[in-house]
Amino acid sequence: MSAELLTILMFSGLIVGLFLGQPLAFVLGGLAVIFSYLGPGPKILGLTINRIYSQMDNYILIAVPMFILMARLLSASGVTENMFHALRLMFGRMQGGLTLAVIAISVVLAATTGIIGASMTVMGVLALPSMMKYGYQKELSCGAIAAGGSLGILIPPSIMLVILGSYAQISVGQLFAAALMPGLMLATLYALYAAILTFFKPEYGPPVSEEELSRTNRKEITFMLLKMAVPPIVLILGVLGSIFAGWATTTEAASLGAFLTLVMVIVYGKFSLKMLHEAVADTARTSAMVLFVVVGATAFTGVFMAIGGMRTVAGSLEALGLGPWGIFLLMMGLTFVLGMFLDWLGIVLICLPIFLPLATQAGFDPLWFVMMMAIVLQTSFLTPPFGYALFYLEGVAPPGVTLGHIYRGVMPFVGLIVFGAVLCAIFPQIITWLPTFIFSR
């Protein structure tokens, strides 16, 4: 069979397998075995196994379970509940103040967890009932929590950036530095949107009652906030600071972060053997899922390249005559659309090995391109029908909040992510300035 036909059949098989509801790891691995026989022959399986072993021997991937464990332990520490209470009182006098509190805590959680499940569940349980109690619009509340919670996959330390760095052969430290400003920019855009919306529509975000605010003075609130914020800030500085200063590798910094989080849990009096067992078991399950997909995707892309798939895709794009920016827009558009049906891990492991060589050949900076892909992947958590953040939030939402409220609420935030991606394309320094400043001295 020709390379063109094999390429079409391979991707058709992937789509069929996913729509049948089969696990992504086994769909990818199964297609790799089938098409190794249909294409180059069984000898290619030996090379594919070598590729898999080289990925499993990748020192950087050890950071994945460490960051997951850090997130699980932080969820058990109780620091989020106290921070939200303090920020709720601090921003309570403002229109839309609870929305700003949600976004602020989401940034802190993003910088200390690296995954969205933990932060989404915590904010859904803590913030959403409070926002409903004070009469906040359901759509705005759901949108802010879902969008803020999904920042955990972009703001470092992020598991997605670890996987991207491993596959793109780019320093994870550089990716962490490159992601910092875009992540904070998106958080700022979310906060501005909420502030402007509640300014023109005060009924969407009424302030907290004066009676409740009068129970504590500003000094008490400030002290409470500092008391709760210092440990997470120390954790952030310990992890990111050690990487940016060159004192530790990403894996070493992740291990340090897990240790510091365990100390935080002990200091707050939340430690128990049951809690530790649950955190370690959750870490093992999540890590196994991620690494199984890595194995399947490594086999899939190895066979895809062996059958001539890369040459076929590159030739097809050249035939379209789109030019470098046309190809870039096409790849970002495909990433956006795939995000509606696949999770970020599948998109990264399937598309990045195909897209990155094409982007490099078109003259784009690999670091900038990978970060642009990461920013667009933010939408994959918020876009129906399969946005993970939507279902995380629905699972913990109080009665009266429907999936329709969540869908309508996230749409403006998806638009803000697209707007942020456009800004990063027009002004690439948003991505490239910080890593250049830190790592080029």
DSSP for 62-120, written as a single string = GHHHHHHHHHHHHHHH-HHHHHHHHHHHHHTTSTTHHHHHHHHHHHHHHHHHS-HHHHH
Predicted confidence at residue 78, as pLDDT, reads: 72
Who wins on pLDDT, 74 or 115?
A: 74
Who wins on pLDDT, 125 or 69?
A: 69
- For the cut 90, the answer to whether the pLDDT of residue 111 exceeds it is no
Predicted confidence at residue 195, as pLDDT, reads: 92
pLDDT digits (tens, 9 = 90+) for 388-419: 788 888 887 888 888 889 999 999 999 999 99
- For the cut 90, the answer to whether the pLDDT of residue 264 exceeds it is no
- For the cut 70, the answer to whether the pLDDT of residue 197 exceeds it is yes
- For the cut 80, the answer to whether the pLDDT of residue 302 exceeds it is yes
Q: How confident is the model at residue 372 (pLDDT cuts 50, 70, 90)?
A: very high
- Region 419-426: mean pLDDT is 97
Is 356 in contact with 369 (CB distance < 8 Å)? yes
Rounded Cα gap, residues 61 and 49, in angstroms: 18
Q: What angle do CA 323, 328, 333 make, to 5 degrees?
A: 125
- Region 49-69: mean pLDDT is 80
pLDDT digits (tens, 9 = 90+) for 275-284: 899 889 988 9
pLDDT digits (tens, 9 = 90+) for 212-262: 666 666 777 777 777 777 888 888 888 888 988 888 888 899 899 889 889
Q: Which of 270, 252, 274, 253 is nearest to 262 (CA)?
A: 270
Q: Range with the lowest mean pLDDT among 29-33, 44-48, 130-134, 360-364?
A: 44-48
pLDDT digits (tens, 9 = 90+) for 155-170: 988 889 998 998 888 9
Sole residue written with tokens 């509801």: 21
Mean per-residue pLDDT over the chain, rounded: 86
Q: Which of 248, 181, 107, 235 is nearest to 436 (CA)?
A: 181
Rounded Cα gap, residues 127 and 132, in angstroms: 9
Q: Residue 383 region, left (φ>0) first, then alpha (ψ -120 to 50), else beta?
A: beta
- Region 125-135: mean pLDDT is 84
pLDDT digits (tens, 9 = 90+) for 306-338: 888 878 887 887 788 788 999 999 999 999 998
- For the cut 90, the answer to whether the pLDDT of residue 433 exceeds it is yes
Q: Range with the lowest mean pLDDT among 105-114, 115-124, 290-299?
A: 115-124
Predicted confidence at residue 359, as pLDDT, reads: 93
- For the cut 80, the answer to whether the pLDDT of residue 211 exceeds it is no
- For the cut 60, the answer to whether the pLDDT of residue 3 exceeds it is yes
Is 325 in contact with 363 (CB distance < 8 Å)? no
Predicted confidence at residue 219, as pLDDT, reads: 75
Predicted confidence at residue 147, as pLDDT, reads: 92
- Region 135-154: mean pLDDT is 90
Instruction: Answer whether 0.85 is exceeded by the pTM.
Output: yes
Rounded Cα gap, residues 332 and 329, in angstroms: 5
For 108, 264, 357, 376, the CA distances from 79, given in Å and listed in that order, are 11, 9, 43, 30
Predicted confidence at residue 213, as pLDDT, reads: 63
Ranges of each domain in the chain: 3-439
Q: How confident is the model at residue 114 (pLDDT cuts 50, 70, 90)?
A: low
Report percent pLDDT > 90 for the chain. Answer: 28
Q: What angle do CA 401, 406, 411 make, to 5 degrees?
A: 155
Around Cβ 12, how many Cβ atoms within 10 Å? 11
Predicted confidence at residue 374, as pLDDT, reads: 95
